[in-house]
Amino acid sequence: MTPLLSEKQLDIIRSWLGTGSINIFGLPFAGKDTHGNELVSIFNAPALIGGGDIMRNSTISAEAKRIIDAGGLSPSDEYMRTVTPYLQSEAFAGKPLILSSVGRWIGEEQGVLKATEASGHPTRAVIYLNIDEATLFKRWEVSQTLGDRGDRADDAEHALRTRINEFNEKTLPVIEVYRSMDLLIEVNSDADRQEILETILSRLLQLATV
């Protein structure tokens, strides 16, 4: 296996990233938290910022909460009204941001691009961790046994199937927009954890040296 990038190569990426942001997408259990937190550590970002976590931990309408708990995506207007100010927090000033599924409906990506730019964290890359549904459900079964994700209503099997449908219908078009903008890094997430990280870093280095 190819070793991880050298510090010199990582510094090239850090310099290119600056205070910019990297947004990570993928089906549930694709490894967004795992690899997002690895990037947080490597690039000294404040934390992994998840769009869904922001909504779950913010004051939102009862209807939006019902939709989220059922595995759906929050209505676009409420989603952007909550997330956009968060990205502009003074706590993030001068640092890069690692985002997880921020802006999951088609059209929201434009708001995210504007919000990251306006807040001093322009979107530098978008990572798509691609897995098939069979792998997803294998990981879900392991997680259910371990109980390692807490008591999340949207991890129930019926809600998980809704989340898959929502991703395929509403989030994949967002990913294709980023692909058309040459911001997308698509990675096979059904691989060894170290291999996935190395692939992500190598692709980021390619973007940094174009």
Could you tell me which residues come within 8 angstroms of residue 26 by beta carbon, excluding any fewer than 6 positions away? Answer: 32, 101, 128, 129, 130, 131, 189
**Locus of tokens 């069979």:** 134
Query: 3-class SS at 43?
Result: helix
| Spacing of C-alpha 142 from chain mean position | 22
Give me the chain's average pLDDT, please: 85
Q: What is the pLDDT of residues 125-134, one digit of tens each?
A: 999 999 988 8
Output helix, strand, coil percentages for the chain, rounded to the nearest 5.
55, 10, 30
Encode pLDDT of 58-99 as tens digits: 677 777 777 767 767 666 676 667 777 778 888 899 999 999
* CATH numbers and ranges of domains, the chain: 7-208 (3.40.50.300)
pLDDT tens digit string along 153-198? 555 565 788 888 989 999 999 999 999 999 999 999 999 999 999 9
pLDDT at 2: 46
Neighbours of 134 (CB within 10 A): 9
